[in-house]
Structure 1
Amino acid sequence: MPLSRIILIIVVLNTLVVLACSTVFFIQLNGLKNTANQAPVTAPVEPQGVSSFYPMEKLILNLPDAARERYFVIDLALQVDDGTAHSELKNIEPLIRSMVIASLSALGFTELRGLSIAQVQARLDLALSAEFTGKGLKKPFTSVLVSKLIVQ
């Protein structure tokens, strides 16, 4: 067999192998696209313990300091269960604002500035729980979250 004929057979076989591999690749690629368009066959997951948040914006405290007046601005969010109506919280928001201001105004500037956000949240949650219990009211939220804190 002449050398040119052997080279021709190798080139033809190589071309057939490349075409076969390309065909298999494109068939698998189209199969993946079709399965990606199908919806998954899993049961819908029902969220458990869904909470919502009631925002309370801009509580401003004026804290006296030896050198000058200091300001403490805090935005809160009350975490509430889904069953609690936002209208109920809107009605008692002035009471909650007053409780927060009274609780934080009792601290000095350096003491308040030294608290971490987690400590401020825990302190407010404890103070509000005690105030609501003292007034014989049910606390309409589960926790207090600090969403913004500015100290000047």
Structure 2
Amino acid sequence: MKTKLAILGAIAFAVVAGGGVTAWLSGVGPFAKHHAAATTPAKQIEGQAQAATPDSRFVTLDKLIVMLNAPDAARSRYLALDLIFQTDGKREKQVKDQLPLLRSTAYRALSDYSMDDMRGMDVDQLTSVLQEAYVNAYGEVGKVPFSSVQIGRQMLE
């Protein structure tokens, strides 16, 4: 009897452990957030982001105002951002010329979020949302004319 119980216990342990490993590898359940964060195109850009070098240039996008999604709110809510794009000297003019596209892409990416969503995000999560939106807008990581986007100022009202 004890042998059968030990065998059943070992089988149950193997099934549970196998299910846990499968969930972890496929990004299901409590592992979904970790899995999604590790595989997004934004993480590919972050891997390319480098420390400032003598050739680094920083292009600013000031006063991006995004009206947040608030269907039941009595008053409008908005997010104000100043963005900073790190690029090299060769692509600085390209980034400056594309500031209207960068502004529009950021607005489109953030306008579906609510005030509560924004309060729940830290700066790194918000930066990842923006980086992923830029990768989608340009089609692939290699076409994005900057190595990183940073948030210079953030204000929720």
Q: Which range, TM-score by smaller chain? A: 0.5 to 0.7
State the TM-score, normalized to the length of structure 2: 0.60
Q: Which runs of 5+ in 2 are unaligned?
A: 1-51
State the TM-score, normalized to the length of structure 1: 0.61
Q: Which has the larger radius of gyration?
A: 1
Aligned length: 104
Change (3 A) 1:119 1:85: same
User: Among 54, 57, 63, which residue is 2:68 paired with?
Assistant: 63
* Post-superposition CA distance 1:30-80 (Å, at most 9, x none): xxxxxxxxxxxxxxxxx9573111010010011243232101100000010
* Alignment partner, residue 37 of structure 2: none
Q: Which runs of 4+ in 1 moved over 2 A?
A: 47-50, 64-67
Q: Distance in 1 between matches of 2:100 and 2:136?
A: 17
Q: Distance in 2 between matches of 1:131 and 1:48?
A: 27
Q: Which runs of 5+ in 1 are unaligned?
A: 1-46
* Alignment partner, residue 127 of structure 1: 133
* Alignment partner, residue 91 of structure 2: 84
CA RMSD of aligned residues (A): 2.2
Counting helix residues as a fraction of each chain, which structure ranks higher?
Answer: 2
* Alignment partner, residue 118 of structure 2: 112
Give percent identity, aligned residues only: 30
Q: Distance in 2 between matches of 1:97 and 1:72?
A: 13
